[in-house]
Chain A
Amino acid sequence: MSVWNPDNIRDVAESVGIANLNNDVTENLARDVEYRIAQVLEEALKFMRHSKRTLLTTQDVALALRVLDVEPLYGYESTRPLRFGEASLGPGQPLFYVEDEEVDFEKLINAPLPKVPREISFTAHWLAVEGVQPSIPQNPTAADSRNLELVSKGPNANATLAAISGVGNVAVKPLVKHVLSKELQLYFEKVCNAFLDESSEEYRTSGYSSLREDPGLHQLVPYFVQFISEKVTHSLKDIFVLTQVMHMAEALVQNKSLYVDPYVASLVPPILTCLIGRQLGGTADLSEQFALRDLAASLLGLIAKKYSHSSHTLKPRLARSCLKTFLDPAKPFGAHYGAIIGLHAVGGPEAVRVLILANLRTYSNLLTDALTDDNPRRPEAERVLAALLGVLATLREGHTSPLTNGHAAVLSDELRLQLTERVGDLIASRIADAGEVHLAHAIVTSER
């Protein structure tokens, strides 16, 4: 029950040479010692509190003793908390002691001086701007502060305040309804219908050009974005619809008077779907399918170029999704095709060299398998090969070969060998057949 029992008192008494202490005395002393300890701790807690700490240090205890007019205990380091060792005296009788290392004086003197602790410094950041906490690295993320009770709950709580501070999943009805004028609504419907009109080419073109050029459509942007992603989700089998909404996205991005930046995040997923989706257009013609992927790739490239300044992570994110598909052998070749051209569109030759070339040797095995005569996937694989060669060809640009003069347009055996080493037999032979010496050099000399 008590922390400090009479046995301890007896032990201490014996250690100072008092052998026979009365039982009553030990009992009383034990109680008193316990009380005094609590008293000292109570004072020490005050010092801790005023130091705005939550950890009691030996210095707090020393100061508390001083306040109580007792000589403090010297010899305890105050900079870090005490460490206690545990020794067992027997079953259920742990003994705790302060770990006190023995230090060799020689060694201590000769040891290099400890590192100077880092200087106290401070940084400033905005914890809140106009009542909203900006999401910058200096501020905790919503996930970090999930456990904190930040918003008032209950019947009296003000839901608006919670919504403004951005925490709490309070379902708030917007105070102001988003009002669209009749004309805009009409326009929206017309344009959507026009885009999806299979019968009239003119109708489609006029819709496209209107969306691309007309100012004053800003209110409709979220609705268009919504429309695009809806259509892509629901008509994955209809290559015509997919192509048309891609055009619509393009028109939106191209329209100079629209500010699409905030919507890029929601615009990208449908485009990626059209680029690296597993199955596009169901039974549609292969060339149509690949044409859609080409369109999506160019659109992605456009977006990457246009909006990378407003979002630093946009390009890496896009490239990562493409690369993931490219490296997944389970994906159909159509998806690989999309990934390859997508990577090129997003990152240019640099991405080709770093991301595609590095993985090409392994990938060519996959291709070689598919290119055997009786394989049903052969036509698709051919397209992928063509696309690969196409993007590899971009490596040639800007590469000035030291061997332009005096060498015929044939590959030396040595070069051929290196090339095979680099990109695998299949592609190497294709390059060699085409006599692309510069390209071969570019590939071989590009750093791994």
Chain B
Amino acid sequence: MSAPGGAPSPAPRSANIAGGGSMPMQQQQPMASTTPVGAPPQGTHQPPQSSAMSQQNLNQIVIDYLAKKGYSRTEAMLRMESANQEIDGRPLPPLGEEARPKYRLGFDLLKVWVEDNLDLYKPELRRVLWPLFVYSFLNMATSFYMHDAKQFFETNKNLFLPEHTDDVRALEPISLPEHVQDNSVAKLYRGNKYRIVLSNPAFSNLIQFLENKQKEGGSVMSAILSSFCTVITKERAVDDRFSFAAMLGQAGSDQFLPAEDEGIPGHHPGSAYTGDNPAMAGTLPRLKLGKLAMEPTLESDVRGELAESDEKEPPALGRNTLVQEFEQMIKKEEDEEGPSRADIPYPPATARDLAMEVQKVKENRDRFRIEGRTGGVGPAVSVCMFTFHNTYDGVNCLDFSDDNMLVAAGMQESYIRVWSVDGKKIPSTYDNVDGKQQQPSNSHRLIGHSGPVYAVAFAPSTTRTDDSIAPTNARWLLSSSADKTIRLWSLDLWQCMVVYKGHDHPVWDLKWGPYGHYFVSGGHDKTARLWVTDHIRQQRIFVGHDQDVDCVCFHPNSAYIFTGSSDHTVRMWAVTTGNAVRMFTGHTGNITALSCSRNGKILASADDQGSIILWDLAPGRLLKRMRGHGKGGIWSLSWSVESNVLVSGGADGTVRVWDVSGPAQDPAQGRVVGEGGAGTKIDAGNPGAASAQTSTSGIGKKKGKDVVVSPDQISAFPTKKSPVYKVKFTNMNLIIAGGAYLP
């Protein structure tokens, strides 16, 4: 159809007007429908439906009049001017080529505005840019402005690369509306509202700005904010994140980390509730983090056994007797509730369980004690490193048995190999299996999987001693693989016992429960599953993650499990109900390792961006973020017996030891020195601190990567080109580490 304002043509005039108005954009649709096409031009005698209608009709009458009189130029002028009016006479938003939603313009404007804003609001306002960027891009993609979308993405993606690497990578290839429907990340963003927290003044500032700049794209930005985001406003004073001191602290760190309650799952910190019900928001189910009580009969048996050995070898002067030690170990702390045995059924205790408990008490008494940081000096831990050679990068995972006798490696070539750690021959338990004599050797191959093996785990065991009543060595091994199965292997027969099928996709990780019997697995099918060794089907399925479940871990009282996922969240689930009870957000990369402290109060999670985060379970809060590892994944975490030291090993080939109770916060927040007016004094009056700070940032720039080592790292031990796959604190507080030498 021709543009309005063309040569006057008397005949189809009215249709022309209506069509001219509705032509360029859909926004005009209502008007087209309310103005009956081909209605008699002399509509005045019809009763006007509304004042707006009469206005429109008036225009038509005038136009008709002008046409009749031959005032063609005046008519054209009137048409042009009236075309841009809404029904009630107000001017319409611009249309046509002009009318493409001005995402780019709006975004650029906003970007500049945020950077020019007061330092006070800058950090929080910066957080707004990411959702606006994503939704702008997706909207452009769905409305076929592909070229613009690509350009927009290319120019702005660098802003978000450090924090949202994975999302940026996932969104980048999107180039058709169908892709938006198909892409899992895009679906996540489109299907959920992005939650963001702003302080009151910042938010009103933002809205004011957007309204001011409505024509230059402010309207689309505010549309995104209202339809795709949940903006939660808070008083500045209540939330110490917005305090002046925190702002100052942030300025020192080179990376702005997302707040815990920001993002797609949109939840109150710690709470696993993601629904819309405001009454439910922020509910934190009560956790029973206490120890799992021992079976009464087993407890008395253990006590008897310990008393006996106390009599045999009385403890050295000044040391606890074993019985005393045992009492201490099972002592319940007050205000701490443990799960009951009825909730988590276990088979009745056997002689082996008894022997293991006894041995645990002995090891606990005789362990190397780590008393925590004294006089600023960290504990002197020892690390024994096992380096695998000639692997050709074929080792996927490692595990050491708790009795420190065996080490297992899961291979890319679908088999598992188990060695004895000391290199001696592994004694065979049964002499005559399958009618053939087994040749004792120092390693065994377990063949059965039909895909790369991604996790191996030894069943709980304790060091074998001569005087124990039953053998306590490791007898079972679990493995999970890309072939969607989990296999249970007997280490007496060196054969596969059970194949657990249930996962629909590769199984990434699995862990034994703290007392055996149960185990948990997580896989590519976005679920974690709880299994009991004597059932071939899973007992619970934990569903909720938006991406693969990459790693799993048990709580030491076996009432909860933890899962870490590619959606950058860590969740805690109750075994008894199968419900999520906590959710932790704050990671900016894929979660690569999880470990719960032995006292059951703190969870450590690590991501492939090199940070480790400690979470306080009961209040569901982030305790601190520990940085130091290079990028590429922290493959393993382990806690000391006292739960005050954490050790980590990763792809950067270092084993690092961390102080859990050390400086309470990371450097960014730790520098909060003064409040209010004293704040300015920090920089002026303390040149030492200021220069030190600039020097660190200088180093950061020079190296071009953000490897910051936070001050709670006790020590770092580099290996020779060996990524560390597994680290483990033994019950005696020795660290065992395993890795493959990759020249």
Q: Could you tell me which residues of chain B, from 391 to 411, have a CB within 8 Å of some CB in chain A?
A: 391-397, 407, 409
Using A127-B719, A144-B718, A150-B718 as known contacts, say yes or no to A46 and B566 having CB atoms under 8 A apart: yes
Interface centre among A37, A121, A144 (most CB of B within 10 A): A121
Report whether A164 and B377 are in contact in the complex, using a CB–CB cutoff of 8 Å.
yes
Given A32-B176, A144-B720, A150-B716, verify A124-B390 contact (CB < 8 Å). no
> Interface size on A (CB < 8 Å)?
61
Q: A154 near B692 (CB under 8 angstroms)?
A: yes
Whole-angstrom distance between the Cβ of B738 and the nearest chain A Cβ: 8
Contact between A148 and B696 (Cβ–Cβ < 8 Å)? no
Instruction: Closest B residue to A3 by CB, please name it.
Output: B173
Chain A contacts of B655 at CB under 8 A?
127-128
Residues of chain B contacted by A306 (CB below 8 angstroms): none
Q: Say whether B633 faces chain A, with CB atoms less than 8 Å apart.
A: yes
A85 to chain B, nearest CB (A): 24
The interface residues of chain A lying within 8 Å CB-to-CB of B723 are: 52
Report the minimum CB–CB distance from B563 to chain A (whole Å). 15
A157 at the interface (CB under 8 A from B): yes
With a cutoff of 8 Å between Cβ atoms, the chain B residues found around residue A128 in the complex are 381-383, 655, 715, 717, 735
B719:A117 contact, CB within 8 angstroms: no
Most chain A beta carbons < 10 A, residue from B173, B505, B714: B173
Q: How far is the CB of B642 from chain A (nearest CB, A)?
A: 16
Cβ-closest chain B residue relative to A133: B717
B632 within 8 Å of A (CB atoms): yes
Q: When the two chains form their complex, are residues B146 and A126 in contact, meaning their CB atoms are under 8 A apart?
A: no
Contacts of A131 in B (CB 8 A): 378-382, 657, 714-715
What is the chain A residue whose CB lies nearest that of B377? A160
A38 contacts B by Cβ under 8 Å = yes
Residue pair A52, B725 in contact (C-beta under 8 Å)? yes
Q: Give the Cβ gap from A102 to chain B, nearest Cβ, in Å.
A: 26
* B266, chain A: closest CB distance, angstroms: 24
Interface residues of A in 35-93 (CB under 8 A from B): 35, 37-39, 42, 46-47, 49-55, 59, 63, 67, 79
Question: Smallest CB-CB separation from A167: which chain B residue?
Answer: B716
B560 at interface, CB cutoff 8 A:
no
Instruction: Name the B residues within 8 Å of A151 (CB-CB).
Output: 709, 713, 716
Q: Which residues in A have their C-beta under 8 angstroms from that of B392?
A: 79, 117
Closest to B174 in A: A35
- Are A49 and B452 in contact, CB atoms less than 8 angstroms apart? no
Chain A neighbourhood of B377, CB < 8 A: 160-161, 164
Q: Are B389 and A123 in contact (CB under 8 A)?
A: yes
| Pair B390/A148 contact, Cβ less than 8 Å | no
Nearest-CB residue, chain A, relative to B508: A50
CB distance from A28 to the nearest CB of B (A): 7
- Stretch in B335-343, B470-478, B663-671 touching the partner: B663-671
Q: Does A97 contact B (CB under 8 A)?
A: no
Complex CA gap A154/B693 in Å reads 6
**Is the pair A127, B383 in contact by a Cβ cutoff of 8 Å?**
yes
Which of B376, B390, B397 is the one whose CB lies under 8 Å from A121? B390
In the assembled complex, the Cα of A144 lies from the Cα of B718 at a distance in Å of 9
Q: Is the CB of A120 within 8 A of B389?
A: yes
A-B contacts counted at CB < 8 A amount to 212
Residue B387 CB within 8 A of the other chain: yes
What's the least CB distance linking A119 to chain B, in Å?
6
Which listed residue, A31, A55, A155, touches B176 by the CB 8 Å rule?
A: A31
* Chain A positions within 8 Å of B720 at CB level: 138-140, 144
Q: Which of A31, A37, A117, A124 contacts B146 (CB 8 A)?
A: A31
Among A38, A144, A148, which residue has its beta carbon within 8 angstroms of that of B630? A148
Closest Cβ of chain A to B186, distance in Å, is 11
Of the candidates A35, A63, A149, the one whose C-beta lies within 8 Å of that of B709 is A149
B628 at the interface (CB under 8 A from A): yes
CB-contacts of B133-190 with A (<8 A):
146, 150, 169-170, 172-176, 178-179, 183
Give CA–CA (A17, B290) in the complex, Å.
71
Pick the contact of B652 from A148, A152, A153 — CB < 8 Å? A148
Interface centre among A46, A49, A149, A158 (most CB of B within 10 A): A149
In the complex, chain A residues whose CB is within 8 Å of the CB of B378: 131, 161, 164
Task: Tell whether A113 is near chain B: CB-to-CB under 8 Å.
Answer: no
B508–A120 touching, CB < 8 Å: no
Indicate if the CB atoms of A120 and B391 lie closer than 8 Å: yes
A125 at the binding interface (Cβ < 8 Å): yes
Q: Within the complex, what minimum Cβ distance (angstroms) separates B404 from chain A? A: 11
CA distance A117 to B146 in the complex (A): 52
- B505 CB to closest chain A CB, in angstroms? 6
List, in ascending order, chain A residues with CB within 8 A of B738's CB: 122
Which among A35, A127, A152, A154 is the interface contact of B717 at CB below 8 angstroms? A127
**Known contacts A120-B389, A154-B692: A39-B718 contact under CB 8 Å:** no
- Judge if B35 is at the interface, Cβ distance under 8 Å: no
CB distance from B367 to the nearest CB of A (A): 15
A55 and B391 in contact (CB under 8 A), knowing A46-B548, A160-B376? no
Q: A122-B407, A151-B709, A156-B667 are in contact. Are A165 and B396 (CB under 8 A)?
A: no
Contact with A along B338-367 (1 / 0, CB 8 A): 000000000000000000000000000000
In the assembled complex, the CB of B16 is this many whole angstroms from the nearest CB of chain A, namely 31
B221 contacts the other chain (CB 8 A): no
With a cutoff of 8 Å between Cβ atoms, the chain A residues found around residue B260 in the complex are none
Per a CB cutoff under 8 Å, which of A37, A124, A148 touches B718? A148
Complex Cα spacing A170 to B376, Å:
16
Q: Is the CB of B387 within 8 A of A123?
A: yes
Q: Does B542 touch A at the CB level, under 8 Å?
A: no
State the Cβ distance, B219 to closest chain A Cβ, in Å.
29
In the complex, which of the residues B179, B391, B628 contacts A152, with contact meaning CB atoms closer than 8 Å?
A: B628
* Distance in Å: Cβ of A33 to nearest Cβ of chain B: 10
Cβ contacts under 8 Å, B548 to chain A = 46
Known: A35-B176, A122-B407. A51 touches B384 (CB 8 A): no
Assess A119 versus B737: contact at CB under 8 Å? Given A149-B628, A161-B377. no
Contacts of A164 in B (CB 8 A): 377-378, 715
Contact B376 A122 (CB under 8 A): no
Residue of B nearest to A39 (CB): B173
**Once the chains bind, are A154 and B505 in contact (CB under 8 Å)?**
no
Q: Which parts of A101-144 form the interface with B (CB within 8 Å)?
A: 117-133, 138-140, 144
A350 in contact (CB, < 8 A): no
Say yes or no: A51 contacts B380, CB within 8 Å: no
Is A52 a contact of B387 with CB atoms below 8 Å? no
Looking at the complex, which one of B150, B696, B735 makes contact with A154 (CB distance below 8 Å)?
B696
Q: Is A201 an interface residue (CB 8 A)?
A: no
Cα A39 to Cα B170 in complex, Å, equals 8
Closest Cβ of chain A to B512, distance in Å, is: 19
How far, in whole Å, are A43 and B385 apart by their CA atoms in the complex?
Answer: 32
Closest to A131 in B: B380
A contact residues around B75 at 8 Å (CB): none
The contact of A125 among B385, B394, B693, B735, by CB within 8 Å, is B385
- What would be 19 A-B contacts, judged by CB atoms less than 8 Å apart? A28-B176, A32-B178, A39-B173, A49-B633, A51-B396, A52-B635, A63-B452, A120-B388, A120-B391, A120-B417, A122-B407, A124-B421, A128-B717, A150-B709, A152-B712, A152-B713, A158-B711, A160-B377, A167-B716
Task: Report the 5 A-B pairs with minimum CB-CB distance, sorted nearest first.
Answer: A38-B173, A131-B380, A130-B380, A127-B385, A127-B383
17 additional contacts (CB under 8 A) given A35-B176, A127-B655, A138-B387: A28-B176, A35-B174, A38-B172, A39-B183, A49-B592, A50-B506, A54-B651, A119-B390, A122-B386, A122-B388, A122-B389, A122-B419, A122-B738, A132-B380, A140-B719, A153-B699, A155-B693
**Which residues of A approach B to under 8 Å, CB–CB?**
1, 28, 31-32, 34-35, 37-39, 42, 46-47, 49-55, 59, 63, 67, 79, 117-133, 138-140, 144-145, 148-158, 160-161, 164-165, 167
Q: List residues of B whose CB falls within 8 A of some A CB.
A: 146, 150, 169-170, 172-176, 178-179, 183, 376-397, 407, 409, 412, 417, 419, 421, 451-452, 454, 482, 505-506, 508, 524, 548, 550, 566, 590, 592, 608, 628, 630, 632-633, 635, 651-652, 654-655, 657, 663, 667, 670-671, 688-689, 692-693, 695-696, 699, 703, 707-720, 723, 725, 735, 737-738
